[in-house]
Amino acid sequence: MSVLLEAFSVLVRFTSVVGKYEGGCEQFIRDVPNSTVCGDGEILRVGFMILTDLTGYIDLLKRRGLTHLDSNGQAVDVVVVDARSGPREPCNWLQFGSADLQKTGSEGLEKASIIWARLKGGQSERIMFPRGWQGPGKVQFVDAATGDRRLRFMRSEGNVDVFEDLETGKEVYVGRTGV
């Protein structure tokens, strides 16, 4: 099987959670800081919109017993994947692909592409999504320099920061985890 990749994804080997994670699978699920977790029985995926939130989560995974990178910088139990550019570190245990989805939108049938990952050698074509996922939304990546120039912080609403896009005047929403 496969798991959805969006924005920044932390992918974890399921066998590592079972064998090494302090508290096992139940604790792993309790430690997920948002509602983006999904798994296919071989890998688990947790998504993030902000790298600082992701970094805090990686630190938690390491404190619980998982190994992010070996001494050569190769992913061991955990890998970070950027949906735009792929793995942020070398990883020999994953493979990636894309799929086209069709969904009914405000303008009729719409086609959208998604990116997925699975354990290397996996054969299933089925893709697992987080509970409640409603299809790809309109996501725009903004680097820090552009964000500093273009976005003005307005408020926080729970775990969502709301910014004004100074070029369009529209509100922009960024999900946060507080990890």
Residue 130 to residue 171: CA distance in whole angstroms: 25
Annotated domain spans of the chain: 2-128, 144-175
- Whose structure tokens read 């995926």? 45
Between 157 and 12, residue with greater pLDDT: 12
Alpha-carbon span 146 to 134, nearest angstrom: 28
pLDDT recorded at residue 92: 95
What is the per-residue pLDDT across 77-119, written as a single tens digit (0 to 9) for each?
999 999 888 899 999 999 988 787 766 666 666 677 788 899 9
Contact between 43 and 117 (Cβ < 8 Å): yes
pLDDT of residue 49: 82
Q: Which of 34-38, 141-145, 149-153 has the highest mean pLDDT?
A: 34-38
Residue with the larger pLDDT of the pair 60 and 164: 60
Mean pLDDT (the chain, rounded): 83
CA–CA separation, 88 and 48 (whole Å): 14
With 70 as the cut, is the pLDDT of residue 179 above it? Answer: no
pLDDT number for residue 37: 93
Give the model confidence (pLDDT) of 125-143 as tens digits: 788 777 877 666 655 655 5
How far apart, in whole angstroms, are the C-alpha atoms of residue 164 and residue 179? 24
- With 60 as the cut, is the pLDDT of residue 8 above it? yes
pTM score of the predicted model: 0.78
pLDDT for the residue numbered 176 = 62
Contacts of 6 (CB under 8 A, 6+ apart): 36, 47, 83, 114, 115, 136, 139
Q: Residue 105's pLDDT is what?
A: 61
- In whole angstroms, what is the distance from residue 136 CA to residue 83 CA? 12
